[in-house]
Amino acid sequence: MTTLHHPASERAMIELTVNGQRRSGQAEPRMLLCDFLRHELQAFGVHVGCEHGVCGACTVLINGRAMRSCTQSAVQVDGADIVTVEGLADAGTMNALQRAFAKEHALQCGFCTPGILCSVTHFLREPPSPTEAQVRDMLSGHICRCTGYASIVTAILQAATDIKKGS
Amino acid sequence: MKPVAFDYHRPETVSEVVALLSELREDAAVLAGGMTLGPMLNLRMVRPRAVIDISRIQVLKAISPKSNIVVTGAGVVQCDALQSNVIARELPLLAMALPWVGHFQTRNRGTLGGSVAHADPSAEIPLCFVVCGGSVVLQSRRRERRIPAQEFFQGALTTQRQPDEIVTALEWPRTPPDAGCAFSEIAQRHGDFAIAAAACCLRLALDGRLENLSLGLGGVENRPVAIDAKSFLGQSADGVAVALAEHAAASVTPMDDHSASADYRIALTKVLVERVFNEALAKVRQRGNRLQ
């Protein structure tokens, strides 16, 4: 048998690459990935909102794809490459997407922002010049109670243009 | 909330999964993408003693065209299905419905088999599966068996799967190239559970009369339902949409719950059936015009 087995009451060693660094910590099987990233690895940019996959605040990149970190446990993604909002800036300088969010006032309280930035990072790889309708469709996976979304849509379209221009 | 404490098993083969299931039975929950099981664990709507994670079993991730069917492994991730040329070409109804399944961020993790095994009444993939006339492949230590989609879904979150069985694959009959398909749904917000959804697939004979017609509704009853539309075959396709919508509305016993009343679901059924029928018909005719 090659079945991996972690008993409920034992903490398993989890190794991940988080924002380019090898990190490890211990987690019981039931520990959610978002809680592991926050409490074991101090990635406090991962925000925990609804805890059932609806609000999108906890979205991170797992092996390059934007996913909820509240509806999977840390043991499930052992060995994965994870990027959180902390990993988006380039050597301490905000990237084009983050600059567009700042310029267009695409956040107010900022609770939903880390998840949205992670989603958009993946999203802009596939349609590099998305339409407004495509942006709004992608944003349906995030809840923002401050902005009314208009400024977020503007910022994402701006970022898409800027990234294409290479700025 | 957080899940109850559970033992975690991650087998690498299907035979290990069925060995575990034969021992653990109702105590175990099979986990693929976890886009529905994850929330249910967090809300403690399910409290399994063990979770069997099948997400790293590579053989369950294949999309395989066979002579008359396309086989999708239970672990095929929805976003991979959405990008698959085989699915776009052979299963256009599924390709049309996938953008309605959850959100970009959940399709990156959720699977085709997980949605079918979970059997939410409003889920899009089970609806397409019923309308396409597919079969579920179930494996246990005892046997492998196939169940037609329409019989597999028994009610909300209730299927014919036995506690020692795992859904290993979905078998989808290929859609003929001259068929037209359409999918539509109404939800409170795009990506939320559908209040009502409709899917249609049809073909015309050379004289323009209806030769094949598959129609189904999701979110209306407690499982995806196929509407018996045999009485419409042989009729001219023009002007059928309204009568078909009335027929569909008269054939269902709608749910009445917090998201919509039974009357509202009937109203949506009529609108959606007319919409998908007309869209599917327009597609068949566009294709016909191109060929002439």
CATH top-level class for A12-87? alpha beta
Alpha carbon separation from B167 to A131, A139, B22, B133 (Å, rounded): 38, 32, 14, 17
Contact residues for B76 (Cβ-Cβ < 8 A; gap 6+): B60, B61, B62, B63, B111, B112, B113
Please report which confidence band the pLDDT of residue B113 belongs to, taking 50, 70 and 90 as the band edges: very high
* DSSP per position, B179-202: -EEEEEEEESSTTS-EEEEEEEEE
Alpha helices in B119-193 (DSSP H): 124-132, 149-152
- pLDDT of residue B97 exceeding 70, the answer is yes
Mark whether B165 and B212 lie in a shared domain. no
Q: Domain A96-165 classified CATH 3.40.50.720? A: no
Angular region, B4: left φ>0, alpha ψ -120 to 50, beta rest: beta
3-state secondary structure of A19: coil
Contact criterion met (CB < 8 Å) for A119 and B31:
no
In chain A, CATH 1.10.150.120 covers 96-165
Domain that holds residue B44: 7-53
Residue B76 falls within a domain, yes or no? yes
Instruction: Please give the ipTM for the structure prediction.
Output: 0.95
Of A7, A54, A71, the CB nearest to B34: A71
Q: What is the CATH number of the domain that holds B279?
A: 3.30.390.50
CB atoms within 10 A of CB B41: 27
Contact criterion met (CB < 8 Å) for A28 and B109:
no
Please report which confidence band the pLDDT of residue B288 belongs to, taking 50, 70 and 90 as the band edges: confident
Mean pLDDT, range B255-276, rounded to an integer: 97
B59 contacts chain A (CB < 8 A): no
Of B1, B4, B104, the CB nearest to A141: B104
A30 contacts chain B (CB < 8 A): yes
The Cα B3–Cα B268 span in angstroms is 36
The string of pLDDT tens digits covering residues B166-189 is 999 999 999 999 999 999 999 988
Residue B1 falls within a domain, yes or no? no
Mean pLDDT, range B213-217, rounded to an integer: 98
For residue B249, give the H/E element and its range: helix B240-251
- The answer to whether A29 and B6 are in contact (CB under 8 A) is yes
